[in-house]
Amino acid sequence: MTSLPLSTDKRLGLAIDLDTCVGCHACAVSCKEWNSGGSGTPLADVGAYGAAPSGAWLNRVHTFEITPPVGAAEIVHFPKSCLHCDDAPCVTVCPTGASYKRGEDGIVLVDEALCIGCGLCAWACPYGAREMDPVEKVMKKCTLCVDRIYNQTIPEIDRVPACVRACPTGARHFGDFADPDSSVSKLSAARGGLALMPDLGTGPVNRYLPPRDTRRTQTATVDPPPPAETSATGFLGWLDAALERLG
């Protein structure tokens, strides 16, 4: 068992706009590139040009066709990475202390030198946000580009996670959710930012900004179909359906 800090000074995380994400995977590729050349071991690929390529990706984009309770089916692109949970079960389950959450900024990290590759953290994470490196046999995850955001040797504009810097539509936003006046806090409040599966009690920091109503209005049918068989409504109902398919 590894302890979590009682609280953190900051709660750094991402606000991801599902309205403007176009599913281009630039964030995932940029993440892979940056995290293959940084302080940790590279993110390995196995059989990259073969019939069954596999490898470690810290950010993955899932694309779904979802039928809302009212309106026509829509395509939603759903980028998924670590949500840097306040009560991260991946940390408390770790037997060696390799997984830990930083008190100063809330980032959840893995000390690769302490990781024994047991996979317990991946089992404990309900979001599938951990990645066992197939070559190094150590667990890896999103670090919010901790070797970038505090890096005084790169231009200030680049001191954000690589995924945020690469996104061509500006769908990804980085900042401190502990500060109600930060840009991400204000954006999330204005857009009704959603936590992912909050009922699990993990306290995810990241927020998803749901598609704007104007988008749905433009695609709504005159005769809405019967309500979907789900207890959740609106965008949460969409999300529930999407997560069932994340696997």
**Min. distance of Cβ 28 from ligand SF4 in angstroms?**
7
Name which of 26 and 243 has its Cβ closer to ligand SF4.
26
**Min. distance of Cβ 221 from ligand SF4 in angstroms?**
27
CA 76 to chain centre: 15
Count of CB atoms situated within 10 Å of the CB of 216: 17
* Lookup: tokens for 103: 């008190």
Which residues make up the interface to ligand SF4 (CB under 6 A)? 21-27, 61, 77, 79, 82-85, 88-90, 108, 125, 127, 129-130, 141, 166-167, 169, 171-172, 202
**Min. distance of Cβ 184 from ligand SF4 in angstroms?**
15
**Min. distance of Cβ 224 from ligand SF4 in angstroms?**
28
Which long-range contacts (C-beta less than 8 Å, at least 24 apart) are formed by 110-114? Answer: 110/138, 110/139, 110/140, 110/141, 112/40, 112/41, 112/136, 112/138, 112/140
Name which of 44 and 58 has its Cβ closer to ligand SF4.
58
Residues 65-89: b if buried by 16+ CB within 10 A, e if exposed:
ebebeebeeeebbbbbbbbbbbebb
**Min. distance of Cβ 169 from ligand SF4 in angstroms?**
5
Name which of 44 and 171 has its Cβ closer to ligand SF4.
171
Which residues touch 113 (CB under 8 Å, ≥6 apart)? 98
Name which of 90 and 184 has its Cβ closer to ligand SF4.
90
Name which of 70 and 114 has its Cβ closer to ligand SF4.
114
